[in-house]
Amino acid sequence: MEGTLRDRWLGAQPTKVPLSRPFLSHLAHLPVSALPKPVRECPEAIKYLALLGDLDWEHFPERPTNRPWPGPTPASRAPFVAAYLVKLNEQLSTFQKLREHLVEHPALVWVLGFPLVPDPTQPWGFDGARSVPSRKQLGRILRELDNAALQFLLAASVRCIAALALRFRPLAGIGVISTLDCSCLQELSSSPDGDWSHFYFGLLLLAGAFIVP
């Protein structure tokens, strides 16, 4: 708040961001120069655009809206799943720590796709703390994720691992990828894309642990 008041006294105009935006996978393929200035200047947001952008968020299996029972339209689950992957990668032990991490990085909240609560008094044009779900809601949505969402993560992680593996063994064929042999994993882990491979293998294990046959 003090920074906002100081900017106003000095005549600086806060940098707003659009409250609506395309899917994360679309954002990731835009030129960095096309992103809002606050997003371009946030290393955390740029990092997760790169890590999560290859997943096909446009086709994430959301809950059906034509439900037979009354109630509000279900909130999109894709931003929650993206946030869980942030929790996994940052090794945040609780949902409260995940929430605090997101509140500290409004640009990341914008990138992940959570619905934004408008607030013209805030430099970005939205209230970051009110836009991030509560600790309880973050935990509840994870418990209620259906198999379709987890299958999406599993399939997406396999595709990303396959793409990485083929960079290092372009002639090996699908056999190497399907078996994920140890030497291939070592090459991936020690490569310049090592952070990506660790992330996708963690994603693979996370999805596989929750899927019910």
What per-residue confidence (pLDDT) applies to 46? 94
Kindly give, in sequence order, each residue whose CB lies less than 8 Å from that of residue 81, ignoring residues fewer than 6 positions away: 60, 145, 149, 153
Taking 60 as the threshold, does the pLDDT of residue 210 lie above it? Answer: no
What per-residue confidence (pLDDT) applies to 10? 37
State in Å, rounded, how far the first CA of the chain is from the last one.
50
- Exposure string over 18-37, b if 16+ CB within 10 A, otherwise e: eeebebbbebbeeeeeebbe
Cα(188)–Cα(27) distance, integer angstroms: 26
Helix-, strand-, coil-residue percentages of the chain, each rounded to 5? 60, 0, 35
Token pair recorded at residue 93: 């032990």
What is the pLDDT confidence band of residue 12, given thresholds at 50, 70 and 90?
Answer: very low
Q: Across 36-40, 100-104, 138-142, 207-211, which has the greatest mean pLDDT? A: 100-104
Q: pLDDT by residue (tens digit) across 147-181?
A: 888 888 777 776 666 665 555 554 444 444 444 44
Token pair recorded at residue 29: 């393929």
Please tell me the pTM assigned to this model: 0.73
Polymer length in residues for the chain: 213
Whether 200 and 164 have beta carbons less than 8 Å apart is answered as: yes
Q: Across 20-29, 166-175, 177-186, 195-204, which has the greatest mean pLDDT? A: 20-29
Mean pLDDT lowest for which of 17-21, 29-33, 204-208? 204-208
